[in-house]
Amino acid sequence: MLRQGRKMLCQNYNETKNSGAILLRDHCRLVDSLLHQAWQETVTSSSIALLAVGGYGRRQLFPGSDIDLLVLIPAKEKNTDAVDSVTKLQIERLIRFFWDMGLEVSHSVRTLAECVEESVKDITVQTNLLEARLLVGNCQLFSELESVIRDTTNPNTFLTAKLFEQQCRHNRYHGATNNLEPNLKESPGGLRDLHNILWVSHVAGTGKSWLDLTKGKFITLQEARLANRCQTFLQDLRIRLHYLTGRQEDRLLFDYQAQLAKELGIIDKSPRYASEILMQRYYRVARSVTQINNILLLALQVKICSDIDTTPIPINKRFQKYGQFLEICTESIFQEDPSAIFESSLLLQQHAELKARSAVTLRALWHATKFINLKFRNNPHSQSLFMQILRQPHRVTQELRFMNRYGILGRYLTSFGRIVGQMQHDLFHVYTVDEHILMVVRNLRRFMIPKFSQEHPLCSGLMAKFDRPEILYLAGLFHDIAKGRSGDHSLLGKKHAKQFCKQHEIFQEDAELLVWLVENHLLMSITAQKQDLSDRDVISVFAKRVKDDRHLVALYLLTVADILGTSPKIWNTWKDKLLENLFWMTRQYLNDKSDYINSALESRKIKVLELLALNNTSTEVYERFWSEFDAAYLLKHDPQEIAWHAHQLIGHLDSSVPVVKARAVLNGGGIQVMVYTPDQKNLFAYICGFFEGINYSIVEAKIYTTNRGYAIDSFLVLNPFKAVEQYHNVISIVEHELAYQLEQKMPLVPPPQGRLNRHLKYFPITPTVDIEPDRKSSYYRLSIVAGDQIGLLSSIAQVLVHFGVNVHSAKINTLGARAEDIFWVTGKVLSEQKKLLHLKTEMLAILEIPSNTTLMQSVKYLN
């Protein structure tokens, strides 16, 4: 009966296009009837009751959801059990019967006293009991439960707990409504935010539905209809997602977005995929849910806390202080003076005692966005207020987020409005474009706050001395504002930034910096991650584009904030070190262009000697070490690394066996590994295979050959688990096992197997291979872009071995599921056109191999 009933419900839902509310109701009726029959079959006791709680209790049972049940039993008497052994056996049979018929039940068996005790301890239990309804059994016992829960639920305490619970839930999703794979139930703007309103309303005595809230004048009929439409849309998506996956899956993963769009009749509209159109609809709904949630919870808070003194205190002709809230003096103020929209933000920034806008103000703002038109945008007073908001020492990020949430920012900056809710399928951004932009501004603001200075000390120090930081915030707002259009988004964004500067009369010097930052916001990242920083020409070219120290500082701060704002997983100590090295090298070049190389070498030697002196060893001991290495080695490695190499290799410079040493990188960023051994052609390929075999990712490789033919290779490898306590064990394994295998000259093995990254499955990357001479023609630069997969690096290395290509340096850059690797190589084949074409062809073949199959083609490259 259960299988048949559910199959018919699914069929009717797909064929009749009924609303989700009807399916949820009918699903509850089906389960209700089956539970009732099961009760009749197994339970004869009249002292207990079976209750539906949670979502099932409010008659919203989704296809894959658990059946939340409570078996209510009478109170325990002194020294006796609450129920006799026969009744206990019947309850056990009943629950077993539920599972046997195929119902995934989540049940509890409690007395009234236990229900109260648990509800006091756990707000989730209390919420579930508020929605309890009697399925079958003792009516009197259920009535007593309703009465005791109603009497023991304090509205004020309940509101505080639900607000805290909601904030914690939002924080789990980084407070971002526009996560690319949102949870329909739990994410900000999801179904749970709507449930929260109705739960608080129920406890406050103002009703259990949107219609009840309109009767109490907490919400207008138009707003109630909007809330209902949002709820219907989210319910429909969640139902379809459950049917599509065959389980309780509430995450809108990439895997399902295209299929859901197809079911809803959404088609591709170039250049956008149907899935992107669907997700933008979702984000708009989620934003509306967030607005409704904010307004109604504030309004209910005022009702619940009505005993607090809220005598209005005037601030100016338009605004007043109402308790801890900023409130408009008249409801028509935004219509009469639209610039008051920005004034409300400025007043909140300037009055620390004000917590937020009142519900009345929020509602008026919500409906006032239509007044942000061309006249508003060209109004000098509005423009002045916007700039003042950016210059305030507090709440800049909060107010920009607020403006985005209520559609104000997108109406004022029309180019920003185009990217609200726009997805980014580059495999490393985890937010929509607008959310990423606001994350970048948030990161820049965070550099200004002293309590966060330990996170990025250099950024915090530079930001504290940076004049007019609002230019950086504007650069953050505009840097990706033209994403998703045909053409270079940096150049298009530059035009928008230039127009903004002209309209807002920004000083020419600051305007030039802002426009330059938008156009060049990727310059530092690309240079640091894809260029050889030991090459003087690289630093020279970069420094000439940067021009001066203010441009350098601004670009460094924006670059760090930008990378931090792409994904919580993208930033690591390697990127931090690369960018910081480029910053200091460029600053040194700008200060002394004529003798940059000599001054850089001299400063490094002095630093190395200082570090070596800490080991209480005279510098004469290291003279032999210095004779083995030239200026290229000094420029390629930082002083700490050189001192570490020297300390480890003294006494081992003539070693006939490989020397492998490893150490943990500060801040838990992985381990640094040095390999010193007589050079051999497949050394790089072998080491790559070794690290992939233990599931470590190589992010940087420096290959150097001494004057006497020894290879000293340095690798930075990251632990995917980031468990610092495991570093000691891993270091021991690396030092002994890698040295042993290199000494035994064991043959290369095929790259390890792995499963295809699911992001790549739906958003594949067409691999590219570019080989070109560098400026000095001493090396060739091999650039590879491909989908990341297990065994990728060792596969590339083995192809290079096969063609006789030597790797001298490498930068391995993994951005989510996207690999962007750079190798500096030499080899005869690189100057022979036909063989070079053959190399590229073989390399592309390797890159296109799905990682869920064995990389059989690589076998022919083995010894």
pLDDT at 707: 77
Taking only the tens place, the pLDDT of each residue in 320-368 is 998 889 999 998 999 999 999 999 999 999 999 999 999 999 999 999 9
Is the CATH number of domain 155-308 1.20.120.330?
yes
- When the pLDDT of each residue in the chain is averaged and rounded to a whole number, the result is 87
- Sheet with 67-72, edge to edge strand ranges: 105-110, 67-72, 49-52, 133-137
CATH T-level topology, domain 750-863: Alpha-Beta Plaits (3.30.70)
Taking only the tens place, the pLDDT of each residue in 677-722 is 988 878 888 888 888 888 888 877 888 888 788 889 988 887 655 5
Residue 140, number of CB atoms within 10 A of its CB: 11
What is the Cα gyration radius of the chain?
A: 32
Taking only the tens place, the pLDDT of each residue in 625-639 is 777 777 778 877 888
pLDDT band at 856 (very low <50, low <70, confident <90, very high): very low
pLDDT at 178: 63
Taking only the tens place, the pLDDT of each residue in 80-134 is 676 778 888 999 999 999 999 999 999 999 999 999 999 989 999 999 999 999 9
Is the CATH number of domain 2-153 3.30.460.10?
yes
Residue pair 497/503 in contact (Cβ under 8 Å)? The answer is no
Task: Name all contacts of 689-693 with Cβ < 8 Å and 24+ positions apart.
Answer: 689/748, 689/749, 689/751, 689/794, 689/797, 689/798, 690/737, 690/738, 690/741, 691/715, 691/717, 692/751, 692/752, 692/790, 692/791, 692/793, 692/794, 693/749, 693/752
705-734 in b/e form (b: 16+ CB < 10 A) is ebeeebbbbbbbbbbeeeeeeebeebbeeb
Residue 352, number of CB atoms within 10 A of its CB: 9
Domain ranges of the chain: 2-153, 155-308, 454-591, 750-863
pLDDT band at 813 (very low <50, low <70, confident <90, very high): confident
pLDDT band at 159 (very low <50, low <70, confident <90, very high): very high
Asked if pLDDT for residue 562 goes beyond 50, the answer is yes
What percent of the residues of the chain are helix, what percent strand, and what percent coil, each to the nearest 5? 55, 10, 30
Asked if pLDDT for residue 186 goes beyond 90, the answer is yes
**CA–CA distance, 257 with 285 (Å, rounded to integer):** 16
Average pLDDT over residues 243-255: 92
pLDDT at 80: 63
pLDDT at 808: 83
The overall pTM is greater than 0.75:
yes
Asked if pLDDT for residue 757 goes beyond 70, the answer is no
Residue pair 564/455 in contact (Cβ under 8 Å)? The answer is no
All residues at 6 or more sequence positions from 681 whose CB lies less than 8 Å from its CB, including other chains: 801, 804, 806
**Beta-ladder partners of 711:** 677, 705
pLDDT band at 863 (very low <50, low <70, confident <90, very high): very low
Structure tokens belonging to residue 778: 């001493």
SS3 for 778?
Answer: coil
**Beta-ladder partners of 320:** 314, 327
**CA–CA distance, 351 with 370 (Å, rounded to integer):** 27
Instruction: Between 187 and 858, name the one with better pLDDT.
Output: 187
